[in-house]
A and B are shown apart, each in its own frame.
Chain A
Amino acid sequence: MSKVWKYGDNVDTDLLAPGAYMKGPIEELAAHCLEAIDLDFARQVQPGDVIVAGRNFGIGSSREQAAEVLVRLGVKAVIAKSFGGIFYRNAFNLGLLALVADAEADVEVGHELELDPASGTITNKTTGATIAAEPVPEHLRRIVAAGGLVPYLEQRLEKHS
């Protein structure tokens, strides 16, 4: 069950991980995620939920906590028309699925989505519509499945030892 939260263009890193809470523990930072534009998000988001956004999601700082807080809150994936380059790398490194797709028109808040990152297919279970996304390469899917780059590397080291 992936329920949708919708935001527009240019959702920046300072909205995702506000500077005022950057020195504290990640749980505290997560509690303030997106509060400048939506006070309900951090309080009501459920594990497995998905964010659908417009252009340039995650533009701004290199602070990877911007992706990490979403993982902490249980967000399964961000679907956006495009991503800030550093955020895109950080997302996979932290175990967050980032899908490039123009999904805004076909999805409303609260809709349920089913994601197939391998084929790049997003199915809107609420309306029955399917939306094409860029397929995610296998190595990136493996990193997400492992929970991020560090656990992924650890798993690989264990396998080889």
Chain B
Amino acid sequence: MGQPTGQTLAEKIIARAAGQDSVRAGEIVTCKVDLAMIHDSGGPRRVKPVLERLGVKVWDNSKVVVISDHYVPAVDQQSAAILKLTRDWVKEQEIESFYDQQGICHVVLPERGHLKPGMFVVGGDSHSPTGGAFGCYMFGVGATDMAGVLVTGETWIRVPETIRIDWRGSLPHGSSAKDMMLKLCATLGMDGGDYQAVEYTGSTIAGLSMTERMTMSNMAAELGAQAGLIAADGTTADYIRAAGANPSEGTPFRGDEDAVYRVTHEFDASALGPQVAAPDSPANSGPVEEADDVAVDQCYIGACTGAKLEDLRMAAEVLGGRKVASSTRLLIAPASTRVTAAAAADGTLAKLTEAGAILMPSGCGACAGYGAGVLAEGETCMASTARNFKGRMGARSSKVYLGSPYTVAATAVRGRVADPRPFLAENGA
């Protein structure tokens, strides 16, 4: 054993959940789960048979949040049956927090005040690292793992090493958290996170809004990390208060000065322009100037990572006063019903629909290839989503490019992959 050293943010949260004074990277510990979140796809339809087989109910109905977002609204008998099963199970298990078709789980969970700093949270979805934006250790698991959590209220975890990603400088106008993440995917690769914890630090992160921080944490999944953490600060507390919850119920842990990180990567945000990921991997990213000049059949602003209020405002900044090219179509699925309401109230939605955007219900449908908005064979899409795996958004020969909401909007106007900056400059935005 060497000199005693400080703890990382990840170690502090995990130690608390494990009921220990401290933990060390590499150690396997059992943690008490503060909250478990499941959705209609990997949730009730998959965990119900396991719980029935074991003859038990959920360990604590006040600590389970169920959100239907993957098969909403039902597009066929199969998805309708899955949603019905979800509703019936919630009643049977007397779950207190159920959000039926109110938006995408990773956005709805914090929006309704469920996340507070220091919590140890397990989600039945791979983009669960989104909760890390609130200073929570939140990670995704499969349904069988989740069934174990629902039965016992506990799960095992190998204490991760922390990969620190430090961003300095202020983002130029026209660039966003999505561009920062695509840059990270290209630089570090989809296994750069190595199933460890990523922690974002630095002045750029401190200056980001909560919804932009959520994009950073969300796409920690695309780095292959288990969690994507940002230490809670005043911005976090303000968001939680606005969500109607009490931030002081949480513990705003910070990593110690002498904590051990596996590595620290440093990035300069002030030099970062819009990025585009070519098919079939987010790691296949580069500056928009170097992107393929391809025509796109569909533009999509949606998903947990790209359709929050701020994302819609970015799109509106580009689209205001312009029209979607006749050669393409722009589908917009706001991340939640609250986002839709707020965007309606501040005039954002009008700018989008006047430009010719098609407004869709909130949900995961097109992004995951589960519902409305999927692609035909050979079609190309530019999307604000997190993932562009082969065939993800529909037919197996379809192709997906990823960009920020600015870039998707500019692409919709041009009908081909486009740099949003000239549009923003012309709009005087």
Instruction: Tell which of A14, A23, A63, A93 touches B390, judged by Cβ atoms closer than 8 Å.
Output: A14
Q: Which residues of A contact B46 (CB under 8 A)?
A: 64
A37 touches B (CB below 8 Å): yes
Measured in the bound complex, the distance between the Cα atoms of B387 and A20 in whole Å is 16
Q: Which residues of B contact A14 (CB under 8 A)?
A: 369, 387, 389-392
B281 touches A (CB below 8 Å): yes
B133 touches A (CB below 8 Å): no
Excluding A84-B195, A84-B224, A85-B226, 16 further A-B contacts by CB distance (< 8 Å) are A10-B190, A10-B281, A13-B389, A19-B369, A19-B370, A19-B392, A23-B78, A36-B391, A36-B396, A60-B126, A62-B142, A64-B46, A90-B142, A94-B144, A150-B53, A153-B54
**How far is the CB of B222 from the nearest CB of chain A, in Å?**
8
Q: Which residues of B contact A59 (CB under 8 A)?
A: 190-191, 224
**How far is the CB of A114 from the nearest CB of chain B, in Å?**
28
Measured in the bound complex, the distance between the Cα atoms of B140 and A36 in whole Å is 25
Beyond A19-B370, A85-B226, whether A56 also contacts B141 by CB under 8 A is no
Query: In the complex, what residue of chain B is closest to A32 when comparing beta carbons?
Result: B396
Instruction: Tell which of A20, A37, A56, A88 touches B369, judged by Cβ atoms closer than 8 Å.
Output: A20
Ordered by A's residue number, 27 sampled pairs between the chains whose C-beta atoms are within 8 Å are: A14-B369, A14-B391, A14-B392, A15-B389, A15-B390, A19-B391, A19-B392, A23-B79, A24-B78, A56-B190, A56-B224, A62-B42, A62-B124, A62-B141, A63-B42, A63-B142, A64-B42, A64-B46, A64-B144, A84-B195, A85-B224, A85-B226, A86-B126, A90-B141, A93-B142, A150-B144, A150-B147
B256 touches A (CB below 8 Å): no
Interface size on B, residues (CB 8 A): 46
Return the 5 tightest CB-CB contacts between A and B, nearest first: A19-B369, A85-B195, A64-B142, A36-B396, A90-B142
Interface set of B (CB-CB < 8 Å, partner A): 41-42, 46, 50, 53-54, 71, 76, 78-79, 82, 123-126, 128, 140-145, 147-148, 190-191, 194-195, 221, 224, 226, 281, 283, 368-370, 374, 387, 389-394, 396-397
**How far is the CB of B170 from the nearest CB of chain A, in Å?**
32
Contact A148 B144 (CB under 8 A): yes
